[in-house]
Amino acid sequence: MRRPLIAAGLLIMLYGIAGAILDTEVNLVGVVAFGAVLLVLHDGIFLPLIAGAGALVRRLVPPGWQPAVRFAAIVDLAVVMVASPLVLGFGRDAGNPTVLPRPYGKGLLLILVVATVAAVAGRKGFERFRRRDDR
């Protein structure tokens, strides 16, 4: 499963790079700066949070529940990190009145609950997938 995911990621990156280079209206300096900021945020915030959550899960959660809890934690953290700027209202001052025309905090909470329930409900699927990988 790892090789197809790596190949898909590389193809998507090549598509994005080709589009940025071939489009005459793209600010390449801005694209590089945006990529650098994403890299710093990913490696400086997201990965340490994931590693810390994994250590907590290993210590606090029974072994049979760990895959489901890890999945729910990673999905919830990713959703929170992506949605936080919108929920907190960043971007409204930049002249974009369409950012948060409704209260999205409730929607974010609903997504987090659904992802957590889906992970816990899918616990048996995680166990089957894990047993299949162990063979």
Q: Mean of the pLDDT values across residues 104-133? A: 74
For the purposes of burial, counting CB atoms within 10 Å of the CB of 119, is it exposed (0-12), middle (13-18) or buried (19 or more)?
buried
Instruction: Write down the domain spans for the chain.
Output: 28-134
Q: CA-to-CA distance for 112 and 79, rounded, in angstroms?
A: 7
Task: State pTM to two decimals.
Answer: 0.55
How confident is the model over 58-83, as pLDDT tens digits? 999 888 788 888 878 887 877 787 77
Weakest-pLDDT range from 7-11, 21-25, 75-79, 86-90 = 86-90
At residue 96 the predicted structure's pLDDT band, cuts being 50, 70 and 90, is low
Q: Mean of the pLDDT values across residues 89-95? A: 58
Q: CA-to-CA distance for 20 and 2, rounded, in angstroms?
A: 27
Identify the three-state secondary structure at position 90: coil
Identify the three-state secondary structure at position 67: helix
Identify the three-state secondary structure at position 135: coil
Please check the confidence at residue 8 and state whether its pLDDT lies above 70. yes
Please check the confidence at residue 106 and state whether its pLDDT lies above 70. yes
Mean pLDDT for the chain overall = 79
